[in-house]
Amino acid sequence: MSGLLSLLTFLAFTSAAAKPNAGLKTWARFRKLPYPGDKAFLYDTFPEDFIWAVGTAAYQVEGAFEKDGKGLSIWDTFTRGGNRMATGDVGSDSYHNIRADIRAITQLGVSHYRFSLSWSRIFPNGTRGSHNEMGTNYYRTLIKKLQDIRVQPVVTLYHWDLPDHLQQTLGGWSNPEMVGIFKDYADFCFQTFGDDVKYWITIDNPFVVARHGYGTGVVAPGIKNDPDLPFRVGHILLKAHAAVWHLYDRLYRPRQQGQLSMALASHWIKPSRTRLESLRECQCSLDHVLGWFARPLFTDGDYPPCMKERLGSRLPSFTPEERAQVNGTADFFALSHGAALSFQLINESLMFGQLEELDLRMLLYWINAEYDKPPIFVVQSGWYVLGNTKTEDPKHMYYLKRFIAEALKSIIIDGVNVIGYTAWSLIDGFEWHREYGIRRGLYYVDFNTLDMKREPKTSATFYRNVIQRNGFPELPENRPAQGIFPCDFAWGVSANSIQVETTPSQFADPSVYLWNISNNGELMRLKGVTAPPLRRTTHCADYATIRQQVDEIRQVGVNHFHFSLNWSAVVPSGDVAHPNSTLLGYYRCFTRQLLQANVTPVVTLWHHTRQRSSLPPPLDTANKWLNRKTPGAFADYARLCYRELGAHVKMWITLNEPNDEMVSYQEGHQMLRAHALAWHAYDREFRHSQGGKVSLALHMDWVEPAFSFRREDVEPAKRVLDFRVGWFAEPIFGSGDYPLGMRSWLRQLNSLDLPVFNEEDRQLVKGTYDFFAISHFSTEMVTHAKEDSYTYGAMLEVQHMIDTTWIMSPRPVVPWGLRKALNWVREHYCDVPVYVMANGVQEDPARFKDSLRVYYLYNYINEALKAYTLDGVNLKGYFAYALSDERDPGFGMYGHVQEEVIIKASLSNYRNIIQHNGFPIQGATPQQCPSMPQPCLGCHVLVKRPWPVVGFLMLVGSGVLITLGLIIYYTAKRHKECY
């Protein structure tokens, strides 16, 4: 009667509590979150009682596979069969190294240590009758040592290493008798260790046990060829777990007050298309992996409907009594996430045409929604590095950072009840089917030494720091700065080029129109009638494209505009005596119109691109920059531009971003000479009369050490910056020679590629600057620990990488990198005036509400403000890149749809920052800046030649007066006729 009553209670509860497919809303919810703000790193801390843990599994680390009476496990047998190369016979030899493991756990500062019991070490043949006291004492000792350092154990009863005797005699987990056998083993463990254990895991990752142990044969016991066996095994695993939970709940919980669950693993999946069918396939994919075991435990005691529909009779069924027995048998949701399953043991057949993704935060939210907000303990999380990696494992470290950060967002932003996080694993060990090919430990183990010495890796230091701070508390440098730039700050926008119109469009239409002034005022074209060709001098106002472009620039609110000339177009023959006068006239008009709009033109003489050299054809076909005549030809071209445009242009860039890695050292040497010759030409021949400034602009993305726990860690980053930026900067702004570190490194490689400055060239190049200009877009990290051959720079011996928590589009968005780059300039070249000549981000041109660019500009400019106000960088200007998608696709603040120009959200946001001259403190007295003098482009003409101009103005004035008189006369006459 009592059994029937409990069954009825169960049915009533499940019908009321179950929310089928509640997790389906996850994808839509995250798609609606503000971008990119939601992707930004969250600086905050975890709850005070948060569980920080680290874990291991017995077979991976214990070793001593035949020591002190231990029986064989299925892994001892499995690793000796087939074509497998290694075993876990010794592993990390934790059986003999309890003290070393405890020392490592102490150093980390964790509150909990998860480990598993080796079933065959306690019961060599799997049953109580074979009890091995020495094996049991090993775990008693371990738990006692943990108590001594005030670390609580999290104990797993079964982590894949079934006693081989049970496999050979019963068929292992395919036999229903295993339910009772496992229950008896658990009973012994509760009796023996339970007073000191508050968290129990019955079975780890039953998906892998069932599908890959008894289906694909990838892991022990390696059984395959029966496609339905995994589902029968999974059925038995669930029953075994439920029997153990009820045992603990009935006999041990009242006294021991512990909690018990089953560790379930899952991947994450995203829809290949934004359709409901794709979302349902994602839901079904999760149901086939995680829901297979989670739904019976947390929802209704039965398998997901998706599994039942697709598998039919292949999937065993629960009786109502069994459903009642299984449902609710988990005190918390134990989640295993990371390299044990994700992108490893999930094949395409379980993705149902969707895309796998590594996203712990979304998985946590899905579990929270799907299973009615259970407390979630992440009992395994981490990634891996290659087997030849030693103590420097930045890849693992940044994956840890990513997963921990996602758990924090899940708590703070999503409201998910995540109670703990377990980094995997404590030490390197035998990695199952990957053997020793990868490492997952926070501590490096040298498997070739007798004592298996443990050394902390970079990831261990990182994890210890996170635990000490209880997360990622916000530091002063992480907070937005408030303040303003100086009154004379140069606010600009950059474009690689401008639209050129060699034929004025203002008078290009020869048609004759009739103006219907008496009716609607429309112009009507007279068919068959054309006007005679105009014989008049072209004026700047005739170019419609100039008016349009200048108007677009003016709307941004900037006071500077940076664009590049095209050397090969200005001097197509290479002979400056025969330039393209029409093009020069257009540039002259453009710069003049900019000044009239109170915008200072900043002009680049040569813009380096990888696609084309932009050198005049005679030089382009004659060895390009390696031609010894090219620097002199460039200086002549520079003189031409200074002479023709210098009246309007007061800020020149000789070479824009010449420090490209595709440029050879010999080419770079000639470019430096070309810049110096052009600078000296201006300094000697034009500066006195024109009063302008000249320099070059270097590409300077920041390079950050992947970790900086020791002095040696920063050397790779210094080396890369020497080769990328110092290569051009040091000869001009510093010593007149290439960086010492650059020369010594190449000498160490026996390389003679770097040219030597003779004394004449040294004097020619050194000091040829008026300011330091950089283009900055992104940041990367480097380390000397080789991990990925595709991103490893062999010549500089550095591994290039990124922090996986960074926003990507497609390059990393790292605002603080700009501040560090500006400080690098200050530290190397003191108080040199600095301009950020280009700074922008690539975003889908179709996104007119370009929220990423809004975020990018706000935060990068804010970091520039910190460099100016807090660090003392002599920052003179900031130029956003770029003006328009038409000329710089994906970077523009103007978009284009057919012939319509679209103003993006970033433009108004940038204009707002400019109007406030930064980020003023609320309530502070407004900045008082003197008004800028209006340009008077014709004033010098009036001073030099007044009488012709005065006469012309009198003639124009007379014409205006006569015209006004005629208009008044005829208007009065028409009014009289109406009366």
Q: Which positions ≥6 away from 699 have C-beta within 8 Å?
A: 657, 659, 660, 724, 774, 775
Q: Which two tokens stand for residue 568?
A: 């090969």
Q: How confident is the model at residue 963 (pLDDT cuts 50, 70, 90)?
A: low
**Contact yes or no for 704/820 (Cβ under 8 A):** yes
Q: Rounded CA gap, 842 and 809, in Å?
A: 6
pLDDT at 788: 86
Around Cβ 320, how many Cβ atoms within 10 Å? Answer: 13
Q: How confident is the model at residue 18 (pLDDT cuts 50, 70, 90)?
A: very low
Q: Which two tokens stand for residue 869?
A: 């106000």
Q: How confident is the model at residue 536 (pLDDT cuts 50, 70, 90)?
A: low
- For the cut 60, the answer to whether the pLDDT of residue 756 exceeds it is yes
Q: Rounded CA gap, 639 and 659, in Å?
A: 23
Measure the CA dihedral 969/971/976/979, to 10°.
Answer: 180
Q: Which two tokens stand for residue 768?
A: 């040829």
pLDDT in tens, 459-508: 999 999 999 999 999 999 999 999 999 999 999 999 999 999 877 665 55
pLDDT at 161: 98
Task: Tell the burial category of 370 from Cβ atoms under 10 Å away from its Cβ (0-12, 13-18, 19+).
Answer: buried
Mean of the per-residue pLDDT values for the chain? 91
Q: Which positions ≥6 away from 359 have C-beta within 8 Å?
A: 268, 270, 406
Around Cβ 525, how many Cβ atoms within 10 Å? Answer: 11
pLDDT at 816: 97
Distance of CA 787 to the CA centre of its chain: 19
pLDDT at 19: 67
What average pLDDT does the segment 189-205 reach?
Answer: 98
pLDDT at 342: 74
- For the cut 90, the answer to whether the pLDDT of residue 8 exceeds it is no
pLDDT at 507: 56
Task: Tell the burial category of 603 from Cβ atoms under 10 Å away from its Cβ (0-12, 13-18, 19+).
Answer: buried
Q: Rounded CA gap, 977 and 631, in Å?
A: 76
- For the cut 70, the answer to whether the pLDDT of residue 3 exceeds it is no
Q: Rounded CA gap, 253 and 246, in Å?
A: 10
Alpha helix ranges (H) inside 71-228: 74-78, 98-108, 119-122, 133-148, 164-170, 178-193, 206-207, 213
Q: Which positions ≥6 away from 611 have C-beta within 8 Å?
A: none
Q: Rounded CA gap, 518 and 878, in Å?
A: 53
Tell me the pTM: 0.90
* Pick from 276, 374, 285: nearest CA to 334: 374
pLDDT at 947: 42
The residue with greater pLDDT, 88 or 83, is 88
pLDDT in tens, 678-701: 999 999 999 999 999 999 999 999
Which letter, b or e, does each residue of 381-417 get, where b requires 16 or more Cβ atoms within 10 Å of its Cβ? bbbbbeeebeebbbbbbbbbbbbbbbbbbbbeebebb
* Pick from 867, 861, 854, 847: nearest CA to 918: 861
Collapsing DSSP to helix, strand or coil, 375 comes out as coil
What average pLDDT does the segment 550-577 reach?
Answer: 96
Q: How would you classify the pairing of strands 385-386 and 438-439?
A: antiparallel
Q: Rounded CA gap, 666 and 756, in Å?
A: 10
- For the cut 80, the answer to whether the pLDDT of residue 710 exceeds it is no
- Cα radius of gyration rounded to whole Å, the chain: 37
Q: Rounded CA gap, 894 and 553, in Å?
A: 10
The residue with greater pLDDT, 944 or 35, is 35
Q: Is the bond preceding 884 in cis, omega lying within 30 degrees of 0?
A: no
What average pLDDT does the segment 170-194 reach?
Answer: 98
What average pLDDT does the segment 923-952 reach?
Answer: 59
pLDDT in tens, 623-673: 999 999 999 999 999 999 999 999 999 999 999 999 999 999 999 999 999
* Residue-level length of the chain: 979
Phi, psi of 399 (to 5 degrees): -70, -40
Q: How confident is the model at residue 534 (pLDDT cuts 50, 70, 90)?
A: low
pLDDT at 930: 85
Q: Which domains does the chain have, with CATH numbers?
A: 22-470 (3.20.20.80), 817-920 (no CATH)
Q: How would you classify the pairing of strands 44-45 and 471-472?
A: antiparallel
Distance of CA 324 to the CA centre of its chain: 46
pLDDT at 959: 57
Percent of the chain at pLDDT > 70 equals 91
- For the cut 70, the answer to whether the pLDDT of residue 139 exceeds it is yes
pLDDT at 491: 98
What average pLDDT does the segment 771-795 reach?
Answer: 94
Least confident of 18-22, 444-448, 618-622, 737-741: 18-22
Q: Rounded CA gap, 148 and 952, in Å?
A: 101
pLDDT at 505: 61
Q: Rounded CA gap, 709 and 619, in Å?
A: 50
pLDDT in tens, 440-470: 999 999 999 998 999 999 999 999 999 999 9
pLDDT at 610: 79
- For the cut 70, the answer to whether the pLDDT of residue 951 exceeds it is no
pLDDT in tens, 844-892: 888 889 999 999 999 999 999 999 999 999 999 999 999 999 999 999 9
Torsion sign across C-alpha atoms 671, 676, 681, 687: positive
